[in-house]
Amino acid sequence: MSGLVPATVRIIGTGLIGGSLGMALGAAGADVQVQDISPGTTALAVELGVGRVPAPGDPDPELVIVAAPPDAAAQLIAEALRTWPNALVTDAASVKGIVLDGVARAVDPEMLTRYIGAHPMAGREISGVIAARGDLFRGRPFVVVPHATTDPEAVALLQGIATAIGSVPVVLPAAEHDTAVAHVSHVPQVLSSLLATTLLDPDERALALAGQGLRDTTRIADSDPRLWVEILGANAAAVTAVLEGVRERMDDVLAALATMPGDPDPAVGSRRALAELISDGNRGVRRIPGKHGGASDAFATVTVLVPDRPGELGRLFTEMGEIGVNLEDFRLEHNYGRQVGLGHLSVDASREELLTRELSARGWTVAES
């Protein structure tokens, strides 16, 4: 090993993920050997700078990365463990429990200590090595997935590799990983696809009313059926658990809607069920970590009317200082046809209420959020 990355890395499967890992590891100083089931893909990977074709007499790889779909990964990992008796073997499949089970069935317990799972999380709208790029994983989570008998040094080694290629290492056991990706990726995919299927019915005049909300919620519905059949099938239990909760709550929503409208006095419970759906959703979405790297909850935006007169902005900042609230970020919005602007003040969320109250008391007009 030189620095954080092993001296010699073998990448098996040079698609988008394998190709990008090769580029990133090569840039970090590793000698990258590549192989793919398709000779044409291997040749293209070499041409694109992913790595080189292994030659007779090459040293054995210190690390083998199997970058193949979940249904093919276990077999390739088992072969690699047998072929290179001193190598650490990892993989990049997006579901980990099924891969670990497959490897554990295929090799003896001694060999299994040299296997550690990984899931470098990234993707883009085009696939294949042609879309590979060395910065694909930059700033993205790199999940390191040890099992009960994984060599403890392997965890540190993969964390170092993740850091070397600019991604953020996160250590999770396979079951926790699979539940996590069911929540943040697989169930969102199912719901986005379900929503998009409802767009097959309406006529074009209806679809002409589509706005950004529909575009955002259905963007990921334009994804590869073959890939997603594998992923959903491989993580069926975790996806089912989350999805059944969604179905249960959807039944509550449908029951609430059944008492409305027309009914001038719908059951109080119906209005409450709908309000709780939306407000629980508010709380859920605010738990997603934000750009600041912490929870997006950590920052709040207070929007204030700023008259278009000299000195008003200075007065705003001075009074914020007097109130004792730090400004994390600021954006001034100038509106078409108006004599005023909107100042969007980003502040620590715990200070939002204080700032809103104090600015209002000092005569500023603060927007309802």
Query: Which residues in 193-232 contact its own copies (CB under 8 A)?
Result: 193-202, 204-211, 213-226, 228-229, 232
Tell me the closest approach of the beta carbon of residue 220 to its own copies, in angstroms. 4
Q: Choose between 44 and 87: whose C-beta lies nearer to its own copies.
A: 44
Interface mask toward its own copies for 285-304; x: CB under 8 A: xxxxx-----x-------x-
**Unique residue bearing structure tokens 């709208």:** 125
Q: Which residues pair with 118 in a beta bridge?
A: 144
Q: Does 106 bind its own copies (CB under 8 A)?
A: no
140 lies in the site for its own copies, by CB under 8 A: yes
Q: List 366's β-bridge partners, or say none.
A: 304
Nearest to 317 by CA among 345, 339, 298, 341: 345
Of 140, 142, 122, nearest to 132 (Cα)?
Answer: 122
Judged by beta carbon, residue 16 or residue 87, the one nearer its own copies is 16
Residue 343 interacts with its own copies (CB under 8 A)?
A: no
User: How far apart are alpha carbons 195 and 32 in whole angstroms?
Assistant: 42
Question: Which single residue is written with the structure tokens 């000092």?
Answer: 362
Among 12, 121, 162, 345, binds its own copies (CB under 8 A): 121
Question: Minimum distance between the CB of residue 235 and its own copies, rounded to whole angstroms?
Answer: 8
Please choose, out of 58-66, 153-161, 188-196, 316-324, the segment that lies near its own copies by the rule CB under 8 A.
188-196
Binding track over 234-263 against its own copies, x by CB under 8 A: xxxx-xx-xxxxxx-xxx-xx--xx-xxx-
> Which strands make up the sheet holding 8-12, listed edge to edge?
31-35, 8-12, 63-66, 88-91
* Span interacting with its own copies, options 82-90, 135-143, 146-154, 351-359, rule CB under 8 A: 135-143
What is the footprint of its own copies within residues 17-76 (CB under 8 A)?
A: 23-24, 26-27, 44, 48-49
Shorter beta-carbon distance to its own copies: residue 57 or 225: 225
Q: How many CB atoms lie within 10 A of CB 115?
A: 29
Residue in 74, 116, 172, 316 binding its own copies, rule: CB under 8 A: 172
What is the closest distance, in whole angstroms, from the C-beta atom of residue 329 to its own copies in the complex? 16
Among 63, 93, 116, 181, binds its own copies (CB under 8 A): 181
DSSP string, 279-292: HHHHHHHTTSB-TT
Asked whether the CA dihedral 361, 362, 364, 369 is positive or negative, the reply is: negative
Q: Encoding tokens for residue 208?
A: 């002409």
As measured in angstroms, the least distance from the Cβ of 309 to its own copies is 13
Tokens representing 184?
């943040």
Is 105 near its own copies (CB under 8 A)? Answer: no
Task: State the number of binding residues for its own copies (CB under 8 A).
Answer: 128
239 with 186: CB under 8 angstroms? yes
Interaction of residue 170 with its own copies, rule CB under 8 A: yes
Helix (H, G, I), strand (E, B) or coil at 21: helix
Walk across the sheet containing 141-145 and list its strands. 117-120, 141-145, 168-171
DSSP symbols for 136-170 = TTTTSEEEEE--TTS-HHHHHHHHHHHHHTT-EEE
- Out of 58, 280, 308, 322, which residue is the one contacting its own copies (CB under 8 A)? 280
Tell the smallest beta-carbon distance from residue 72 to its own copies (Å): 14
Q: Does 274 bind its own copies (CB under 8 A)?
A: yes
Q: How far is the CB of 277 from its own copies (least distance, A)?
A: 5
Tokens of 228: 């997603």
Distance between CA atoms of 345 and 56, rounded to whole angstroms? Answer: 63
